[in-house]
Amino acid sequence: MDGANGRSGDGGRTGGRLYAPKHQNFGQARGPEISGFDDGPYHARRQRYSRKNRIPLPQSDATARTFLRHSSVKVASVATAFPAGLIPAKLKLREVRSAVRDGADEIDMVINRANFLAGEYERVFDEIAATREACGAARLKVILETGELQTYDNVRLASEVAMRAGADFIKTSTRKISPAATMPMTLVMLEAIRDYFYETGIRIGMKPAGGIRTAKEALAYLVLVKETLGDVWLTPDLFRFGASTLLNDVLMQLVKVVDASYQSADYFSLP
């Protein structure tokens, strides 16, 4: 599996403690993405972890790009009427094109669950494919909102529709619906990615988001990815977490390594 080709394309301390400032507000709809496998810096914090993306609302993309112009951090924009996805398709595509013009490196879209649950799978496919085209060079993450899809079979089918329509990543949820990411739903999506890779040779990324709050929980997901897809998927280009709350716990674990004790959550940014 490792040899296959496919599309995938020190922190500031005070008194020996690691501190993180509050989030810069970009009109943010969702939190950051995080991966523990890339040592790249985040512009303001410069901690030894990788924060893959900032994810602002589309109207704030230009501002986010300005703040991050000297950083390796990418701008990923939520679009297509996040989180409900209930506006006309032409307006969704206009929003995507605008986000890309303003500097978004990645686009997060959400499928129309009403259409999917009504059995209108071709309509869902066409909307994803049109969004893929509107993204141009930007990568596309497709949010399934698994908490509304009701069954594992539906999650599997939605994963396949998204991948065949051009998704670079598939993602569990917007984190606005409960349940969000769960181990069983994530496994269904990982198995769909595996089977799609065996069929096409194309690697699709995976992002569980929502409900993963601690580093220990994250480790369980990493084991799931390794056992299902192999080490090649354990990179920021193919696997990420939604990290609004998880990020703080990861920072607290890093501080514990330095100080041998946990610090108060008040010393870290709010989720």
The pLDDT score that the predictor gives to residue 176 is 83
End-to-end CA distance of the chain: 36
Nearest to 176 by CA among 151, 152, 212, 209: 209
Q: Is 17 helix (H, G, I), strand (E, B) or coil?
A: strand
34 contacts: CB under 8 Å, gap ≥ 6: 49, 50, 51, 52, 240, 241, 243, 246, 247, 250
Phi and psi (nearest 5°) for 198?
A: -60, -35
CA distance 105 to 164: 21
Higher pLDDT, 123 or 39: 123
Higher pLDDT, 27 or 128: 128
Distances, alpha carbon 89 to alpha carbons 138, 141, 164, 213, 245, in Å: 19, 17, 19, 34, 32
Mean pLDDT computed over 100-125: 94
Per-residue pLDDT band at 48 (split at 50, 70, 90): very low
The pLDDT score that the predictor gives to residue 33 is 59
CA distance 56 to 53: 10
CA distance 251 to 263: 10
Which tens digits make up the pLDDT trace of 208-252? 998 888 889 999 999 999 999 999 999 999 999 887 778 888 888
Per-residue pLDDT band at 65 (split at 50, 70, 90): low
Nearest to 172 by CA among 153, 186, 158, 151: 186
Whether the per-residue pLDDT at 196 is higher than 90: the answer is yes
Average pLDDT of the residues of the chain: 79
Whose tokens are 């065996």? That residue is 198
Burial of 53 (0-12, 13-18, 19+ CB in 10 A): buried
Whether the per-residue pLDDT at 13 is higher than 50: the answer is no
Q: Which residues are catalytic?
A: 108, 171, 207
The pLDDT score that the predictor gives to residue 61 is 54
Angle, CA 106 vertex, CA 2 and CA 70 arms, to 5° = 100
The pLDDT score that the predictor gives to residue 71 is 74
The pLDDT score that the predictor gives to residue 253 is 87
The pLDDT score that the predictor gives to residue 73 is 79
Higher pLDDT, 131 or 35: 131
CATH of domain 13-267: 3.20.20.70
The pLDDT score that the predictor gives to residue 138 is 95
* Strands 13-14, 33-35: pairing kind: unpaired
Q: Which residues, listed in sequence order, are joined to residue 56 by a DSSP beta bridge? A: 28
